[in-house]
Amino acid sequence: MAGLSWAAARTAWAHCGDECTNPLPLWLAPTSSALAADGVLAFSPGHARAERALEFFKIKVLDAMGEEVAGAFEVYADFSVFVWRPAQPWSAGATYTVITHIDTAAWATAEYSAPPGACITYDQETQVTIAAEPLPAPAAPPLLVASEHVVETWDTLADLVCCDGAYPQLRQVQGHCPAGDPYRVEYHPGFCTHLREHGQLEVVYDFDREALGAAAASNFAGRLFGPDEQPWIGVQANLRAPGCLRFEALDLARGEVFVDERCHGDDLAGALGPLDLDPTATLAASCAGQAYVCEGEDSWDPEQCTTWPDGQVYPAPVAPQDESSAGETGAVDPGEQVESGGGGCSTHERPGVLALVVLGGLLRRRRARR
C-alpha cells in the first residue's frame, strides 16, 4: 500500500475569518491512499459541511501518464462526506496522483463575512494506489466497540463549595478565540472544593480495519446516534446514564447503509451522572469561616450566596435599626442638667438671682404706667 504523500505546503495566513468552535479546513485530501479496484475517493470536510465544501473545492486526478481522469462527485450529506467516482474503472494496481484545493478564504468570506483574501491555501498532492481486487460483496462491516467507565471532578462554578472569601470565576482563554473555559476556574483568596463528581461511560466505535483490509475499510463512513436519536459528532458517545446507541455504516461505493444497535451501561446505573461528595472533612481542615455556595454565570455573585449545607443567606443580613426608637430619649436623672439642642439654657435649670431682680423691676414699671 502506498503511503500518503503531501506536497510541501506553506502555512495558511491569518485565520480566514473562521469561527472558533468548528474552524474551516485549510486543506482537504482523500481519507485513504488505498482503494479497491471499484472504490471511490472520499473526502470529509467536517460535520454537516459536505455540500457547502463542494462550492469551494477543486480536484484533478492524473493517471500514471499524467493524463487527467474524468469523474464526478456524489454527496452523502447525512454522513458529512462526499466522494469522487471515476467515469471509467480504475486501472488495478496503478497509482494515481490526486491534486486538491480548497479555497478557504472564499468560503470564510461567504460564511463569516471575512475580508477577501484573508488567507492563502495551496494545492495538496496525494498518491493513491488501486488494489488488484474489487470490494467484497455488500455486507455489514465488522466493528470494534470499546467502552470505559470514567469518574472525574469538574472545575465548574456549579460544582464548588468555598470559604474564606473565595468567589471563583471562569478562567479566560487567551489568543485568537478568547472565551471563558467552563471547566477551568480561578479564585483568590480563600479555598474551594468539590460538591460532586461525574461518572460517564465512554463508548467508541470503529471499523475492524485489520479484518476488513485497508482498501475495504476505506470504503466505509460511519455515524452514531442515541440515546433518543441524539446525533454525535464523530464515533464516540459519552453516556451519563444507561442507554442504547445506533451506529450506521455507509458503503461509499454502493450507497448502502448497515445498522448496528446495542445498549450500554446497565451494570453501571448507580455510577453514572452526577455523584454527590461529602466535603465536610475537607472544609473543616481548610476553612477558617463558614462554607458557602453562590450563583453566577461567568463568576460567583457575592450577593447571591447561601451557607453550606444549611442554605441560609450568606453573609447574614444586618438587622435594620428600629426608627421608632431612634428619636426616644432615655430617662433623665432629676439632678442632672441637660443642654438643649439650641445651645441655650434648658427649661430644667433654675433662674439665677440677678434674673429674678430684673424681672421684678420690669413688672413694677408696667404697673406704674397704668
What are the residue ranges spanned by the domains of the chain? 34-130, 143-275
Decide: 41 and 84 in contact? Cβ < 8 Å. yes
Q: Which CATH number fits domain 34-130: 2.60.40, 3.40.50, 2.60.120, 3.10.450?
A: 2.60.40
Q: What is the DSSP letter of 21?
A: S
Residue type, 259: V
CB atoms within 10 A of CB 77: 12
256 falls in which pLDDT band (50, 70, 90)? very high
What nine digits make up the cell of 351?
433662674
Cα Rg of the chain, angstroms: 40
- Give percent of the chain with pLDDT exceeding 70: 78
Determine the residue type at 287: C
**Are 2 and 127 in contact, with CB atoms under 8 Å apart?**
yes
Q: Centre a 10 Å sphere on the Cβ of residue 260 and count the other Cβ atoms it contains.
A: 16
Q: 116-168: per-residue pLDDT in tens?
A: 877 888 999 999 999 999 999 999 999 999 999 999 999 999 999 999 999 99
- Report the alpha-carbon distance of residue 100 to residue 31 in Å, rounded: 12
pLDDT in tens, 80-113: 999 999 999 999 999 999 999 999 999 988 888 8
For the entire predicted model, the pTM comes to 0.75
